[in-house]
Each structure stands twice: as C-alpha cells, then as structure tokens.
Structure 1
Amino acid sequence: MATRNLTLDTFEGAVNGDGIVFVDFWAAWCGPCRAFAPTFERASEQHPDIVFGKVDTEAEQQLAASFRISSIPTLMVFRDGIPVYAQPGVLPPAQLDQLIQGARDLDMDDVRRQIAERGTQPAS
C-alpha cells in the first residue's frame, strides 16, 4: 500500500480504527523531510497491512498545531486508535523497521491498562 495524504477531514478516520498507522508530518520545503520520504514510501510498500499517512504541515496547519508539531519531519504511530510514539527527526531504514516491529509487538491490553492507571485519555 502506498502512502496516503491525510487532511483535517480524513485524519481522525485514519488513525482511530483498529491496526497500526504511521503518520509522517512533513513539508515540501524541508530537506530532511524530502530525505525521509523514500524510506517512508518503501516501508509502506513492504508493510501493506499498516497504514502510512503523510500530513503536509503547510497545507494542514490546524492539524499540525493540534498535535503541537514544532519540528519536522515528525513521525507518529497509532495503534488501535492510541498514539504510541511521536518523535521528530529522520529515521534510517533499519530504525524504521525496528519501530514497525515494536508497534506490532505492543501488548495493547497492557497499554490500555497503563492509560487507565494514569487516568489519561489517548490524544485524538
């Protein structure tokens, strides 16, 4: 599956379902974003069971602001509607592969228990 462009209108539907969603916050003027794009695209092709979405922070400023994106590229990972990772910076292919495996290996019952214990709600 190739990457999908996510907008304010499509973002919530993409990340709030079951499964794993990787979101790359980027901008066309950003050199590191352009450098990371082929790695992200290759991962989307190698893992068709995972949704890979891209948010253009210039076109979707409200969406970027709602997640307090202050540095790009920023990669976020959602699993079953719960944000489980958010970090700015470019990841080399091997690190992205590790992150993908880590998202697959998460014990979501444990994640939900930890959220309940902290009394926090997942970001949406």
Structure 2
Amino acid sequence: MSKLPSQKLLSIGELARITGASVRSIRHYDEHGLLASVRASNGYRMFPEKATTQVRQIQRMIATGFTIDDIRAFPDCMLLIEGARSCDQISDVQRKRLETIDRQIADLERRRARLLKTLSEGAIPPVE
C-alpha cells in the first residue's frame, strides 16, 4: 500500500475503540477502498487519525441504508468531513434508496397484515 504522510497512525484496534466500529467492519471498509491504510513492519494495518472521521461517516451512511458500493461512488468530501451535508451528486442515489426503503416497508406491512389475519382467523389466508 502507499505511504501515508507523516502523522500519528492508529492500529485497527485503536480505531475500533475510538469509533465504536468492529475490527471486522474496519477491515471490510479498508478492503473496499473506503479507508487508507499502510502495513506496519509486523504486517498489521495502521490508519491515519482522519480515519476516525471516515469510519463514523461510513457508519452514518450505512445506518441510512446505503451500501458499501453506494458509498464508494460518493465524492470524497462525504467521507472526510464528519456530519458532511449531502452533495448534489448523490441526490439521485438518495432518492432511489428512499424508494427502495418505501417498497420494503410496504411489503412488510402486507406481511404483517397477513400474519395478523392468520392469528385472528386461525388459518393462513390465500395469497392475493
């Protein structure tokens, strides 16, 4: 991996402790190019301090329903500034994600209604 500018580096464990993310998640983000790391002489991953902001931003985006692939397509500014406002470039992605979530909610509501009907009638209703 490329050499990072001279600054304090964090071990993956330190980064996990600071951000509350799991070591496994941090490895996953790194493997998908969302974080920059270097290998220490012992082979361990080391991260620049700015990775704390990046990990927190990634966590926020995932909690909003975005996938790793979605996040990889976002402008770098979205990862480098904690609490960064959405850029115009991702508005379409956000709208599509919202449409997906709305479809999932509608599907879950239909399933819930079927299950309630099953419980009240004692039989599984036919598929409509």
TM-score by length of 2: 0.27
More strand by share: 1
TM-score by length of 1: 0.27
Which structure carries more relative contact order (alpha carbon 8 Å, separation 6+)? 1
Please tell me whether Structure 1 or Structure 2 has the larger radius of gyration of its CA atoms. 2
More helix by share: 2
